[in-house]
Structure 1
Amino acid sequence: MNKLVTGIAFLFTVVLLNAQQRTGNIVEYFGKEKINEINEGELIHVFKKGLALQVPGFGFNSSSFPEDPVYDHFLMNDDLLVSEGDVFSVDYLGNEMIWEKVEVDSASTFSDRSLRSSYVYLEYKSNKEQIVLFEASGHSLVTINGMPHEGDHYDFGYNLIPTKLKKGTNVFVLKVGRFPRVRARILKPYQAVQFTTRDLTMPDLLKDENKVYDGGIRLINASENWVKDLKVSATVQGKTETVQVLKLPPLSVYKIPVKIPGVDGTTDVDKEKVSLVLTDKKNNSVATQDIELNVKSKTKHHKKTFISKVDGSVQYYSVAPSTNSTDNQALFLSVHGASVEAVNQANAYKQKDWGNLIAPTNRRPFGFAWEDWGRLDALEVLEDATQIYSPDPQRIYLTGHSMGGHGTWYLGATYPDHFAAIAPCAGYPDLLAYRDSFKERMKDRIDPNDERFKRLFFEPTPTDVELMIARAGTPSRTLKLIRNYLHHGVYILHGEIDNVVPTFIARDMRSRLGKFHNDFTYYEYPDGTHWYGNHSVDWDPIFNFFKRRTIKKADDLKRIDFSTGSPGVSATSHYVTIHQQVTPFEVSNFTLEKSDSLVVTTDNVALISFDLKQLDGNVSKLVLDQQEFVLANNEKLYYGKDDQGKWNVVSKPSLEEKGPHRNGGFKDAFRNNVVFVYATKGSEKENQWYLNKARFDAETFWYKANGKVELIPDTEFSLSKYKDRNVVVYGNRDNNSAWKKLLGDAPIQVYNDKVVVDGRDLRGEQWGSYYITSRKDSDIASIGVVAATGEKGMKAIYENHYMVNGTTFPDVVIFDDTVLKYGTKGIKCTGFFGNDWSFKTGDFEWK
């Protein structure tokens, strides 16, 4: 998608947030004013004057490779200084884009509607080299003396960036985020290592259970050294739990897990102090921090925490527990809307007497629209809650509101056999189609004779490279998976006059389902807007609808119709699994009719299995695309296509090949307790850049995904120490010493001044690449590569839009430094490896 479509998506997001209702328990979640508190350092400087440059269409962009000529300018010229009145360029109407003076208001905030799609340039003259904390909010990104860092675009007031100022002029360039306001200042840290209470992830302490809890708090390392051999202890009511802290990278803020003792069951307080102490290897105190946690009963609404398998971080979900304490009840998974906290999502529901309701976070109140790591969060919460509450496996249900309504449509289509029924409320089914629908509605607001109309609504035909990039998003194209809704009942609830998620979207889904589905209910709440009180989600007819439906057992299923965009995202329906595709990341499908035979028709399936152990032994024959096979009961049987397209019985597929356990694309590298390994064997500039790039990605994963990523230099990596973990390698074969251990025989090799791809040499220092491949010493782990051939290529790889929802990345993308100016036009090669992870059997497009 080009920058204008996603720019419109940005405008819609603002409309959505402004429309969120503040009544009831679901409230907006932006603008936390913690920026005005100083707990971490002494105030040195508040930025009150700066320069602003408006670049229409380039401000917020969620495309995979957004055009960003401003940052291109500063990255490629890292000592660049600008002055008031300097002309940056001309816009699409031929008007000069000029750096103009801006000043803060009485709240020390650069705030004006003209700051939309803008960059703010700030200077600070330091009389010496010194380490400081750069604190800002309202920006999506910042470069500090040419090095990129994550922003605070939701305006949470979370960001603190330890950085070393040089003597003389230091330059900060901030990209304005979703709201046209930016604040920035510089602090002198109180000490080299200290806690910050910004962005805690903590549980409620439950007085009627005896357990140790997981929590997360951030540590600031305001030094240029690695900090190691630390422990953190938490004390509650005289009980203490201690855990080791991972090494802290230089100049970083790192979210660490802590263990928290439970409270005495006789306590009658509703708050309890937790004392945290950080100690070194000699048991000397390094830092202390007291926090207060809520004390609740497990029979009332409360928060739970767990350790994520994605990255080892602490995540939380909220619970509206059943008023009945028995096992084998129902379980309701409720997914929240944009800007809504999980705790408020659960609080919007009255407790039920026949099931427990759980509300995951999507890893953040905005998160990933329940895709990517938001999808994984929902699955992890469902797994954790299943272990705790032991629900009836036939009575699991899914619902959600707004962005959570989308999450309901998406998760319900992606994992259809997980749920007996789903209930999307005020939701849109397909994220990208929803953005396009908003674009169509914008047509009425722009004069067709205005030059902007053509720029917004008439796009060039996508190139083959752009189509390949888009294909990586097939698993998210919910409408392509629409027949998966046949697995369960569907209840659609929508306000009659909703203008945030317009009612015509719900009516369109009613029309689509009406053509093939025989078990759905549609209800428009009279005069209902986007939010009309808690019954926007806690609607009795939905739960009555749920109560009458169960997940059918395998033997009771006479027909299954299942589709997937990638086996790595969703592979299985009941007892049938699609292991491999013929064409990667196109829709794969099977339909199954069951009597005394299984009659199966497939499309775009290369390898499929049937777990007959789930059946009662009354099926004797398989007809697979008109080929007949005799079945042996109580076995799991695999069938693969040969080169002529004929099915054959095959052995269990090798885990060395692609399959549900690892299938790409590139985003899949950032899971499985991932570790970032950066280069140290290059020049001083290369080493500095790759450390900062890895740290920048870790910062971004923290901010957007509440994540915790272990970051290490290549010299500390070993295959045994990091066994079966995903690894993201920053650097190339010449400067990262872990490359040969992990990627010695990889199908793509990156050197200084050269990329070798399928026998082709791409020469020069301008090449950058992202790709994913299998980790040869592991049956489950993958390797992500963020590599460049030289300085220009290093700067071209700075954008980490692979951590943005709605972006799409195949297994491989190779590009040059023009990608910053011209987006996808700078891509040279992209595509997918074959099922054997080779280039030769893959599907690629070259420019």
Structure 2
Amino acid sequence: MGKRNIFGVITLSIIFFNCLILSGQKRQGNIVEYFGKEKINEVKEGDVLHLFSKALYLPTNRNALNSLSFPTEKVFKEFLMTQKTVVENEIGVVDHTGTAQRWTQIAVGENSTFSSPKLRGAYVYFSYESSQEQVVLFEASGHTQVLINGFPHEGDYYDFGYSLIPVRLKKGTNVFIMKVGRFPRVRARLIQPKKPVLFTQRDMTLPDLLVEDSMAYKGAIRVINASDSWVKSHQIATEHRNVEINTTIPAIPPMSVRKVAFDIPALATGSAIGKSKIKLKLNDASLVLLDEQEIDIELKSKFGKHKRTFISQIDNSVQYFSVAPSSNKALNNGALFLSVHGASVEAVNQANAYKQKDWGHVVAPTNRRPFGFAWEDWGRLDALEVLEQGKRIYEPDPQKIYLTGHSMGGHGTWYLGATYPDKFAAIAPCAGYPDLLGYRDSFVKRALNASEAELKRWGITPKMLAEMQKKPQLSDMDHMISRAGNPSRTLTLKRNYLQHGIYVLHGEVDNVVPTFIAREMREVLGQFHPDFTYYEYPGGTHWYGDHSMDWPPIFELFKQRSIPMDSTMNKMEFYTASPGVSAKSHFATIEQQEKPFEVSSLTYSKSEYPIFTTANVSGLSLDLSDIIGDAQRIVIDNDSIRVSNASKIHLKQDSGSWKTVETFAKTEKGPHRNGGFKDAFTNQMVFVYATGGTEIENQWYYNKARLDAETFYYRANGSVEMIADKDFKLKDFSDRNIIIYGNSDTNSAWSKLLKNSPVAIKGNQVKIGDKTIKGSEWGMYFIVPRPDSDNASVGVIAATGIDGLKAIYSNHYLLNGTSYPDLLLFSNAIMDFGTDGVKCAGFFGNDWSVENGEFVWQ
């Protein structure tokens, strides 16, 4: 147990990366100070019941060998599902170095904040004696997660001030265990809600109303349900300038908070630019008024910088993007620039950094949050959704689409450009790093040259530094789990950059994303790329004003580049690590792989006829209409295929040779659904939790679904549908992804969706293909096709017993940088030993079978 693996080094790298980004950029956005001296009792949601001013903390010696996907949680393990209490000087944990860590008293400081360098990554223990059973709102910040009387909830690690968790306190001692996040400070208090169901204006999503257009708009506000009943069929009445519109909001589970969409009436013609107010009323199903709020909103011109909202297909939430439209009001068929922001930067500020261009429009997506997902996972999907919104609104020249971004957005530019090479004519990464996890190497170089003060500030001990320099010993299990992250390994896709021009901009003395990272990329590109420009801004740090990304030479290079028409292309290379992430470039679509989530490639050249070579490709579609000419055949991997009168053909490997097929079965893997497990969390996902188990099982599955909904809200500005299995009907959620929380014994939706699943899990038993594993300690995640849909998937989060329920509590699959194959089976030992607690991991075959898949057992 406890073998060395690469993921711990990655964990420390990401901690270091976050410290650098935060030290190098001014924090922007909707960050609210709720605990200031002057506002300590000003809470719109209710009255302050209790300010926590006494606490114990448990320091941690960060384990450099920890897994990012399966981090050890020895401390939380002791408090899960228990009413455990602790006293000062009690031993809390013996860490990986053999050192006993004890619970120690810490004094509260200014603004009711517990602050100390020792708190970074530590645990903080609060308790509250309640004279009666009562419902409160737990408000806290600075923590990654909190256990409240044994049940986990999402934290507020970015100090946004968004955390409001309805909690039913029991009479007597109530225990709160907080895990401290990136900032070595935490604070917490209890609020008595003024009403059982109410609005909170914290973290609203609002559009700008455009005075030239008469159209309805979407906004979003959070509704707190601090009651034991479901909020169903409630309405929000929105009034603006004597016009009212009603919106029926989605259901909100008991003791939870959900961000819901509401409609905003169209503006009357002749409205003036300026500020305005809208009134929101929350009415129950009988139209009884529950709460009302007045909201500020901006009226702007569509020819000036502004923000727009849309409904995301990921989860039906309201998202926004910001626009710096062309300065040419009459521009038609112009260019479109997709600009992706850096860590902590709001999309509004990203667009504001650009001067308006006379030949194109800048659109800036959000990455789902100012920190978001580093433009991977759901940040990637957000960028694609906003790109399509920009195309819909501005109808640009389809050959004049460009990509740029700064810092984390520079990484997003490298990553998105490598992943979707045919979507952009040119890319311009500014102060960017190519690979998030590859930043490890840069981290080690930087840390080796850091001062003692810097190492102390970053929380890095000499022992950690020594561990990071050791060559990791990777097991087959490590390789299998990390393989699911290959679509984010940017440099394995580097030859996709051949499809567009590149401008690399970096500050000469950048100490946040060190300049040598850009120089390394210059060397990489210099080995194969004929069309890139590299420029170091003299004396430039990480941010040296708007020229840090709004750099005129970038747009001059853009102006000279166009996405080529298929008919003009004589050669092409395309690489992907998953057709479910990126399958198509121009006329070629990689439908299926021989080895899932390993890099697949296709090259094309044209002489008398089209010639293709492939690697790790078992299924391929080609649109030949613009490249076939008068040829009557193509050659693929030395197989000659006749294609007379064919514009689109489908090809499949058969015993080492390529054969044409009529189509690819939707029941098989392909671009429409390909795994791994994280892919279940999209496509208007619905969380279906079990109610057919014991009381503790039902509580735990409900809380786990609610925890994931809280996490997706916080990380992704999300709004997830939750429903009990007994209320779930297939027709009500057709073609949507379903996440089942529970096993075949406890969740009745299992029989509707998984009766033919290649994997079965119930009380005390798991069956994977022809293998059966028994015991109550097993947890499992897996993804399979939804049988009644050509596109939707079913994700499963299940356990065989109480110990397995503890194992599945971790929600790191909603964190970018983590990797999960199609299936993972693990025991509760993961909380002590990380990936050493994983029993089985792997990928199903292209037919979604175990027999034709690839799995590792340990």
- TM-score normalised by structure 2 residue count: 0.96
Partner of 2:717: 706
CA contact (8 A) 1:560 1:592 kept: yes
Give 1:732's match in structure 2, choosing from 728, 734, 743: 743
Query: What's the counterpart of residue 229 of structure 2?
Result: 225
- The residue type equivalent to 1:390 in the other structure is E
Match of 1:172 among 171, 176, 181: 176
Structure 2 residue aligned with 1:183: 187
Q: Which residue identity does 2:102 align to in structure 1?
A: I
Asked if 1:513 corresponds to 2:536, the answer is no
Among residues 814, 818, 840, which one is paired with 2:825 in the alignment? 814
Native 8 Å contact 2:735 2:789 kept in 1: yes
| CA–CA separation in structure 2 for the residues paired with 1:259 and 1:449 | 53
Q: What corresponds to 1:494 in structure 2?
A: 506
Q: Which of 452-461 and 378-387 deviates more?
A: 452-461
Alignment gaps of 5+ in structure 1: none
Whether 1:359 aligns to 2:364 is yes
Task: Report the residue type matching 1:375 in the other structure.
Answer: R
- Preserved contact between residue 736 and residue 792 of structure 2 (Cα < 8 Å): yes
Residue 841 of structure 2, aligned match among 799, 816, 830: 830
Q: Is the 8 A contact 2:9 2:64 kept in 1?
A: no
**Against the structure 1 CA distance between its residues 523 and 30, is the aligned structure 2 distance closer, same or farther, given a 3 Å change threshold?**
same
Secondary structure of 1:133's counterpart equals strand
Q: With structure 1 as the length reference, what TM-score do the two structures score? A: 0.97
What is residue 261 of structure 2 aligned with on the other side?
257
- Asked whether the equivalents of residues 511 and 542 of structure 2 are also in contact (C-alpha less than 8 Å), the reply is yes
Partner of 2:457: none
CA distance in 2, matches of 1:675, 1:759: 30
Cα distance in 1 between the residues matched to 2:723 and 2:306: 36
1:386 CA displacement = 0.4
Q: Count residues in correspondence.
A: 840
Distance 1:836 1:828, change over 3 A: same
Sequence identity (%): 54
- Tell me which amino acid in the other structure corresponds to 1:484: N
Question: Is the alpha carbon distance of 1:60 and 1:758 closer, same or farther for their aligned partners in structure 2, counting shifts above 3 Å?
Answer: closer
1:129 and 2:133 correspond: yes
Partner of 1:666: 677
Specify the alignment match of 2:456 in structure 1: none
Instruction: Identify the match of residue 693 of structure 2 among 652, 676, 682.
Output: 682
The AA in structure 1 aligned to 2:719 is K
Query: How far has the Cα of 1:718 moved from its partner?
Result: 1.3
Query: Match of 2:75?
Result: 70
Q: Secondary structure at the match of 2:89?
A: coil
Report the counterpart of residue 282 of structure 1 in structure 2: 286
- Secondary structure at 1:422's aligned position in 2? strand
Contact 1:666/1:770 (8 A) holds in 2: yes
Confirm whether residue 34 of structure 1 aligns to residue 34 of structure 2. yes
C-alpha distance in 1 between matches for 2:738 and 2:777? 24
The equivalent position to 1:111 in structure 2, one of 111, 115, 118, is: 115
Q: Match of 1:773, as an amino acid?
A: V
- C-alpha displacement of 1:797: 0.3
Structure 1 counterpart of 2:224, one-letter code: I
1:331 maps onto 2:352 in alignment: no
Could you say which residue in structure 1 is the equivalent of 2:3?
A: none
CA offset at residue 265 of structure 1?
3.4
Q: Which amino acid aligns with 2:551?
A: W
Q: Secondary structure at the match of 1:802?
A: helix
Consecutive unaligned residues in structure 2, runs of 5 or more: 1-5, 453-459
Find the counterpart in structure 2 of residue 342 from structure 1. 347
Letter in 2 for 1:32: V
For the Cα contact (< 8 Å) 2:67–2:835, is it kept in 1?
no
Q: Which amino acid aligns with 2:773?
A: L
Q: Report the equivalent of 1:442.
A: 447
- From the superposition, tell whether residues 62 and 30 of structure 1 become closer, same or farther in structure 2 (CA, over 3 Å): farther
**Which deviations, in whole Å up to 9, do the C-alpha atoms of 1:544-574 show, x marking residues without a partner?**
0000110000000111100000000000010
The match for 1:580 is: 592
Conserved? CA contact 1:5–1:456, under 8 Å:
no
The question of 1:718 aligning with 2:724 is answered no
In 1: Cα distance, 2:87 partner to 2:350 partner: 48
Q: 1:525: how far off?
A: 0.5
Q: Which residue does the alignment assign to 1:412? A: 417
Map 1:295-334 → 2, pairs under 5 A: 295-325=299-329, 326-334=331-339
The separation in 1 between residues aligned to 2:777 and 2:95, in whole angstroms, is 26
| CA shift in 2, pair 1:30/1:289, >3 Å | closer
What CA distance in whole angstroms lies between the structure 2 residues aligned with 1:446 and 1:214? Answer: 50
AA aligned to 1:495 is G
Aligned-pair Cα RMSD in Å: 1.7
| Structure 1, 83-92 or 60-69: larger mean CA deviation | 60-69
Counterparts of 1:234 and 1:618 in 2: how far apart (Å)? Answer: 61
Q: 2:563 aligns with which of 529, 536, 551?
A: 551
Question: Cα gap change, 1:446/1:302 in structure 2, threshold over 3 Å: closer, same or farther?
Answer: closer
1:122-144: per-residue Cα shift (whole Å, max 9, x none)? 00010111111000011010000
Q: Deviations over 1:66-94 (max 9, x none)?
A: 11111112116x12110110012333444
- Give yes or no for contact 1:493–1:524 (8 Å, CA) kept in 2: yes
Whether the aligned pair in 2 keeps the contact of 1:307 and 1:315 (CA below 8 Å) is yes
Cα shift at 1:807: 0.5
2:580 to 568, 576, 581: 568
Change (3 A) 1:380 1:451: closer
Mapped partners of 2:791, 2:263: distance in 1: 28
**Structure 1 counterpart of 2:753:** 742
Partner of 1:157: 161
Counterpart among 785, 790, 804 of residue 793 in structure 1: 804
SS of the aligned residue for 1:83 comes to coil
SS of the counterpart of 1:639? strand
User: C-alpha distance in 1, partners of 2:607/2:293?
Assistant: 65
Shift of 1:414: 0.3
1:171-208 CA distance string (max 9 Å, x none): 00000011111010001110010000111011011111
What SS class does the counterpart of residue 264 from structure 1 fall into?
A: coil
1:602-638 Cα distance to aligned partner (Å, 9 max, x none): 0000000111234474443210000111223452101
CA displacement at 1:435 relative to structure 2: 2.8
Distance 1:511 1:455 in 2: 29
Does structure 2 retain, via aligned residues, the 8 Å contact 1:568–1:661?
A: yes
1:537 maps onto 2:549 in alignment: yes
- Per-residue CA deviation, residues 687-707 of structure 1 (Å, 9 max, x unaligned), is 111111000000000000001
Cα offsets for 1:449-471 (capped at 9, x unmatched): 95444333325411101110000
Match of residue 213 from structure 1: 217
- Post-superposition offset of 1:95: 3.0
Q: Distance in 2 between matches of 1:84 and 1:580?
A: 58
CA distance in 2, matches of 1:510, 1:281: 61
Contact 1:59 1:175 in 2 (8 A): no
1:3/1:57 contact within 8 Å kept: no
Distance 2:632 2:177 in 1: 68
Displacement of 1:481 in angstroms is 0.2
Distance in 2 between the 1:255 and 1:435 partners?
36
CA distance in 1, matches of 2:727, 2:464: 53
Tell me the residue number matched to 2:455. none
Residue deviations 1:153-173, cap 9 Å, x none? 000000100011111100000
**Given residue 640 of structure 2, which amino acid in structure 1 is its aligned partner?**
E
- Change beyond 3 A, Cα 1:466–1:313: same
Q: CA deviation at 1:826?
A: 0.3
- Give the direction of change, closer, same or farther, for the CA distance of 1:288–1:30 in structure 2 (3 Å limit): closer
